[in-house]
Structure 1
Amino acid sequence: MALPSASSALSRRPPQSAPTLELSVRRSRLRRRMRAADLLIVACSTSVALAVALYLASGGAAQVVDGPSALNAVGIVAGLVGTDLILVMLVLAARVPLIDRTVGQDVAIRFHRRLGKPALYLILGHLLFLSVGWALQDGHTLVDETVVLFTTPDMAIAYLGLGLLVVVVVSSIVIVRRRLPYEAWHAIHLLTYVAVLVAVPHQLSVGGVLTEGSAERVYWIALYVLAFGAVAWFRFAVPIALTLRHRMRVSSVETVAPGVISLHFTGRSLDRLRARGGQFAIWRFWSAGTWWHAHPISFSAVPTATTARITVRALGAGSARLAALRPGTRVSIEGPYGIFTDVARTASRLAMVAAGIGVTPARALLENQRLRPGETTVVLRGADDTARYLWTEIVELTRSNGGAVYSMIGPRPHGQDSWMSGADLQRGVTITSVFPHLLESDLFVCGPAVWSDAVIRDARAVGLPEEQIHIERFDW
């Protein structure tokens, strides 16, 4: 398939503008999302403030009369705030639709990760300050006080919970996470639920903040019910219901290129998933070699009432096994998720850069757009000719709506941090020569993380506003 190169984009004429009414609708939608995102931040901040208020409402401040009692106060507040942050983390990872529609799962998970270390430090501070404070009050050494605490059943379980939290946070450090298979990392993270639950008994039995029958105790238990209820409902109950309703099965496995396959599915009322082009789902395939691995994979076509499709590149042992799936294999689904869709658009024009297997959400997104002649420009990027996954379909979708498609093939230049090929750089191609009306466009970037970062860096450098840059990451 011969496509114009990126350098030929220099001579293009500006496309027509979208109607003012549609732009107004898009910007109004953006404002609503931004307000909702602000409210989520306010809700998280309020929960932290209320955690501190629990201590004050219980009269704890009046008990601070000397150094040891001050240490105890700091330790109690640190424990309350740290636990509150962990519960917030659970909600962020629960795949709550409201959070997904507002910021997207990738942003929610990034925020979830950022809270991990502060939460752990606060819990460690909780243990340290209380241990020192109690030791001073009892006239014990810190070691003797620790031994005493270990002999208390509720506290011994709390120490176990702390140990589990340390393991979870350490496994999330980038250098550690990259050395772990996804399955091992995921299994370790399931310990978070155990760690949080085993800490409950000592919270209710030690100290006077959450005394039996108090409003503080009722509020704290309600937080736990909310967090674990969200996880139980959205991570387990809803996916089970979706799976039973739609009864999806693998209908065929199509080889797209070496190491790349499309999985075709059949099912019932798949259009009721309301999947939009650009979204992804969490897939589980019930075969002997794959049932224990959940895969976050984008739709490569918008589902119909009875069919759906994803396209997968073998990037590891888990995804490589999918090529061996047999027709009839049962499929479980969670989702769809993500805001890498037309609902995120705010500008009059559409610019898209897709590389590698990143073409899959790009292809589905184009299918789900209402496009006008001259409104869309797509650049397809490949390291070589073997990386033309689904390019023919993308070209047909774009040109059928009067858009332009350009190719950029070749390795990235050695020693330069660029998203373009070395040949295109030598010809003087820039992001603004490819997209001369970039500032009036929504830029959708689909591809490997480092490559995508380079595209976004160039877009920001020419002044493209953040709300017009759209990317979704699946990093675990």
Structure 2
Amino acid sequence: MSSTIRSNGPSPSVREATAQRDRVRSLRRRERAEVVLVAACLVSVIVAVMLFLTSGRPAQIADLASAVTAAGIVTGLVGSDLLLLMLVLAARIPWVDRTFGQDAAIRLHRRLGKPAVYLILGHGALIIVGYSLRDGLSLWHQTLSLFSGADMLLAWLGTGLLLVVVVTSLVVVRRRLAHEVWHAVHLVSYAAVLVAVPHQLSAGQVLAGSTVQTFYWICLYVLAFGSIAWFRFAAPLLATDEHQLRVTAVEPLSPGVFSIHLSGRDLSRLGVRGGQYAIWRFWSRRTWWHAHPISFSAVPIDTEARLTVRALGAGTKRLARLKAGTKVSFAGPYGIFTDAARTAPRLAVVAAGIGITPARALLEDTDLARGEATVVLRATDRSQVFLWDETERLVEQSGGAVVEMIGRRPSGQSSWMSADAVTRGASIVAVLPDLLDSDLFVCGPGDWADLVVGEARAAGLPERRIHVEKFV
């Protein structure tokens, strides 16, 4: 293990104290916004139920059959509400991304998925039981009767499409699917929600008439599908047209690793922060159909941008053969792996492999005080030290410390460090002596990053100061 150490410098200046106050205010705003977002989901569900309870329908409950049917309607409303909220969370709305990150929004989106589908299935089951009790039919004959009518057929089709989405989300299934296939299947969720609209117009009567309940559901549908249409499709198309990005060169850095240099216009207007990423599509014959989430490895200037890629599969390998002049479309930037997430006076960064890309851009975009940053660069061997020289220069210019740690992890032990460092008794506090006064940014392979985070938590670093960007 080798290291380049610089003095920690003088005590924090007035400028640093002001920056610290700004970071604390930013953290409080984000925490409040996150609470508001989660509360909004809960309030949305409560409103959907309350509007049904005040619609006059519950007054029609006179026996077991009508009670079971009413319960089925409520589960259907709550399930539909959650599905629409899931679309909002997946729409890549900038406010949501700035608040607690697109990754966190997608995690919440996934958490809502199973309850939503269970509720929709419960809706169908309760309706069948309720109608069966009312009409005196067997469950089988009642089920068959519900296949009559176009709206009911669409409702069954929507349920089937949702089940397809859920099944393909299972880890054991998803690993066997190409990313583009999985993504295409999940676009089906939009269709699954849309095809249920006629059912709500007729059988559910939710969108019929001009009641407050009707107004609420129309607004929710407009918010969900309007957000998807604008932020997932229209806004990226407009940004692509405005900035006119094209490939200027592909620069090999190491076996399987290369930088893609881009040219464009008014790129500073994108507002990219160091540590962010975008969703990229390269319009060549062999790559146009595959979108890639790739971090900026340098903060763009007005006419130039740079991405650095590790070829992990057939799709990313093709990017190494891109020709100069290839047109590029994108959506973003996304992510809160940036200096704006900081709340502590010092900065600690631990990066491994291709995780160096957001780390290098983060350091470039951070106004570092003398001795403020300590950076650990981790690699299995010398083939993985790409962009290290640039990163080290950025840290050393501010008098920070850089620790290079090269070597394989110890066999039979759960450690993110090299075997040599473990043998010497190194710990995260030893290599990052100011850890407890720092925000920790970790970027690298998922299982490795989990080990770094686990040791930082065990050392007493608060959760709010840990920021992670995971790579395959």
Q: Normalising to structure 2: TM-score of the pair?
A: 0.97
Q: Deviations over 1:369-421 (max 9, x none)?
A: 10011111000000111111211110111111111111111111112111111
One of 412, 418, 421 as aligned partner of 1:421 = 418
Aligned to 1:403: 400
The 3-state SS of whatever aligns with 1:447 is strand
Contact 1:58-1:208 at 8 Å conserved across structures: no
**2:439 equivalent to 1:439:** no
Q: Compute the displacement of 1:208 (Å).
A: 4.5
One of 4, 14, 34 as aligned partner of 2:2 = 4
The 3-state SS of whatever aligns with 1:185 is helix
Instruction: Give the Cα separation in 2 of the matches to 1:187 and 1:117.
Output: 19
Q: Compute the displacement of 1:473 (Å).
A: 4.0
CA RMSD of aligned residues (A): 1.5
**2:385 equivalent to 1:388:** yes
Contact 2:79-2:119 at 8 Å conserved across structures: yes
Counterpart residue type for residue 110 of structure 2: R
Q: Provide structure 1 residue ranges, at least 5 long, that are not aligned to the other structure.
A: none
Instruction: Give the Cα separation in 2 of the matches to 1:125 and 1:452.
Output: 39
Instruction: Give the Cα separation in 2 of the matches to 1:333 and 1:356.
Output: 24
Aligned to 1:89: 86
Aligned to 1:230: 227
**2:286 equivalent to 1:289:** yes
**2:212 equivalent to 1:215:** yes
Counterpart residue type for residue 215 of structure 1: V
The 3-state SS of whatever aligns with 1:265 is strand
Counterpart residue type for residue 469 of structure 2: E
Write out aligned runs for 1:287-366 (5 A): 287-366=284-363
Write out aligned runs for 1:99-248 (5 A): 99-248=96-245
Aligned to 1:64: 61
Q: Compute the displacement of 1:14 (Å).
A: 8.0
Q: Deviations over 1:448-473 (max 9, x none)?
A: 11100100000101110111101134
Instruction: Give the Cα separation in 2 of the matches to 1:473 and 1:257.
Output: 21
Moved more, 465-474 or 146-155: 465-474
Instruction: Give the Cα separation in 2 of the matches to 1:364 and 1:377.
Output: 15
Instruction: Give the Cα separation in 2 of the matches to 1:240 and 1:276.
Output: 21
Write out aligned runs for 1:22-41 (5 A): 22-41=19-38
Q: Compute the displacement of 1:32 (Å).
A: 0.8
Instruction: Give the Cα separation in 1 of the matches to 2:452 and 2:286.
Output: 37
Aligned to 1:17: 12
Q: Compute the displacement of 1:54 (Å).
A: 2.2
Instruction: Give the Cα separation in 2 of the matches to 1:211 and 1:339.
Output: 42
Contact 1:17-1:349 at 8 Å conserved across structures: no
Counterpart residue type for residue 385 of structure 2: R
Moved more, 358-367 or 55-64: 55-64
Counterpart residue type for residue 289 of structure 2: W
Aligned to 1:80: 77
Contact 1:54-1:209 at 8 Å conserved across structures: no
Counterpart residue type for residue 262 of structure 1: S
Q: Compute the displacement of 1:209 (Å).
A: 4.5
One of 454, 464, 467 as aligned partner of 2:464 = 467
Counterpart residue type for residue 239 of structure 2: L
Contact 1:96-1:230 at 8 Å conserved across structures: yes
**2:445 equivalent to 1:448:** yes
Q: Compute the displacement of 1:17 (Å).
A: 3.4
Instruction: Give the Cα separation in 1 of the matches to 2:166 and 2:438.
Output: 40
Q: Compute the displacement of 1:68 (Å).
A: 1.4
- Shift of the 185–283 alpha-carbon distance from structure 1 to 2, 3 Å rule, reads same
Q: Normalising to structure 1: TM-score of the pair?
A: 0.96
Instruction: Give the Cα separation in 1 of the matches to 2:12 and 2:417.
Output: 28
Aligned to 2:259: 262
Instruction: Give the Cα separation in 1 of the matches to 2:193 and 2:471.
Output: 26
Contact 1:106-1:474 at 8 Å conserved across structures: no
User: Number of matched residues?
Assistant: 470
Instruction: Give the Cα separation in 2 of the matches to 1:343 and 1:240.
Output: 27
Moved more, 40-49 or 346-355: 40-49
The 3-state SS of whatever aligns with 1:350 is strand
The 3-state SS of whatever aligns with 1:134 is helix
Instruction: Give the Cα separation in 1 of the matches to 2:25 and 2:64.
Output: 54
- Shift of the 236–354 alpha-carbon distance from structure 1 to 2, 3 Å rule, reads same
Q: Compute the displacement of 1:207 (Å).
A: 3.7
Counterpart residue type for residue 233 of structure 2: F
Contact 2:68-2:129 at 8 Å conserved across structures: yes
Counterpart residue type for residue 4 of structure 1: S
- Shift of the 472–64 alpha-carbon distance from structure 1 to 2, 3 Å rule, reads farther
Q: Compute the displacement of 1:474 (Å).
A: 6.3
Q: Deviations over 1:337-372 (max 9, x none)?
A: 111001001000000000000000000001001001
Instruction: Give the Cα separation in 2 of the matches to 1:304 and 1:211.
Output: 53
Q: Compute the displacement of 1:179 (Å).
A: 1.6
Q: Compute the displacement of 1:211 (Å).
A: 3.5
Counterpart residue type for residue 192 of structure 2: A
